[in-house]
Amino acid sequence: MSLTPERRYADRLEEFTDRHAFLVDLIMVLALMGCATLGGSLTLPNADPPDQDKTATVLMGISCLSLLNHRTHPRTGVVVTALCTVAAVKAGYLVTPLLLAPIMGALYWLATLTDRRTTRVYGLTTMLAVTVAAVFADSMNHLSLLLRTIGPFFWLMLPLAAGRGTQVRRAYLQSMQARAEHAERTREEEARLRVTEERVRIARELHDVVAHHMALANAQAGTAAHLALTNPEQTKKILTDLTGTTSSALRELKAALGLLRQDDDAPGAPPLEPSPGLARLPELVSACESAGLAVTVTTEGERQPLSPGVDLTAYRIVQEALTNVSKHAAAESAHVRLEYTGSRLLLTVTNDGPSRPEAAPGRGFGVMGMRERAQSIGGELCAGPRPQGGFEVTTALPLQPATHLAEGTTP
């Protein structure tokens, strides 16, 4: 936000005043003293000056000295200046803006430094006292009653209005500064939140890629070692599939890491590889079968198009569920069921085998990652043992992700 020259000068003046408060107060008090002294020497035409030549100077000197502590005692300054001004008017001095300069300064600082109720009580009392003194002063006999009333009232109203305006301006600037600081803190918190979400997303993606392919490669290698002597042809086929598995793992790992290095604005940047989806289920089933896990896939309902995020989430959940079957269950088969119902896709992955003795359920990130993926697009996921034996993963995903969840989230 650009500042006008007047605003910059006002800010600099306030900074100088804060750094040299006593010096500024002393200069202002001396200026008010000079104005009051000059005002005490003024009279109306054809009017006799007061007999006490030094009375105004003494009274105004006392009132100005009380203003040196106006920052800490604004009420005291108003009371002292009001008493001195009323005494000067009673002594026969003409009520002019110059004579009222000390009390006008006191009222301005009162309105600037105190609350509205205090300003109203002290201000109205002071204005009434000075106005009544001016109405009955001998020095104002040559003026009409209207001028004797309106004049002091108008001149004392000005500093109250100016002080109130200054207080409102300061409150506005403080609120703007507070809002700016709050916006800055909110921006930093949002940035940290986005970084955390991105770290979780990358960790989840790498876990799905590495865990699945490594578990599959381990199973394929173990099967090949077991059949090496008894079935060379089958061993050769499994080793060929193992090469495909590791190549696929390298491609997906390269794509995931490439997202961290990808600069979309860089000229000549290679296009990103499309994210996997349910269309690649046959490849996943074939890879599992080469590792000794027979997978059947059934589809119920009319197949409907999925958004890229939902398609990727559904594929990753099936991939992770089948990986867990290979790693943690002594099962030879698994079943994947896709059911399109209305605006949701129901995914179910089941197996009938018992858990392996060496498996440590609850210590991995597989189920947690699947649940996070489902929730990131507005879905739900349940995973647990089946009553009739085995394990089941069930998830319900919307065909189109929820807008407030999909924005800023890349599954």
Task: Give residue-wise pLDDT tens across range 188-203.
Answer: 788 788 777 777 776 7
Cα gap 261→254, rounded to integer Å: 10
Predicted TM-score of the model (pTM): 0.47
pLDDT digits (tens, 9 = 90+) for 271-287: 445 567 898 888 888 88
Please compute the mean of the pLDDT values over residues 158-173 and round it to a whole number: 89
According to DSSP, the residues that pair with 384 across neighbouring strands are 392
pLDDT of the residue at 161? 92
Least confident of 11-15, 118-122, 174-178, 345-349: 11-15
Least confident of 9-23, 40-54, 259-273, 355-369: 259-273
pLDDT of the residue at 259? 58
Q: Which residues contact 226 (CB under 8 A, 6 or more apart)?
A: none
Angle between helix 145-227 and helix 308-328 axes, rounded to 10 deg: 40
pLDDT of the residue at 80? 93
pLDDT of the residue at 107? 93
Characterize the bridge pairing of strands 344-351 and 294-300.
unpaired
Question: What is the number of residues in the chain?
Answer: 411
Confidence of residue 258 (pLDDT cuts 50, 70, 90): low
CA dihedral 185, 186, 192, 196 (to 10 degrees): 150
Confidence of residue 47 (pLDDT cuts 50, 70, 90): low
Please compute the mean of the pLDDT values over residues 157-176 and round it to a whole number: 88
Percent above pLDDT 90 for the chain: 17
pLDDT of the residue at 1? 45
pLDDT of the residue at 273? 53
Mean pLDDT of the chain: 79
More confident residue, 291 or 207: 291
Strand ranges, E, within 193-343 = 294-300, 333-341
Decide if pLDDT at 411 tops 60. no
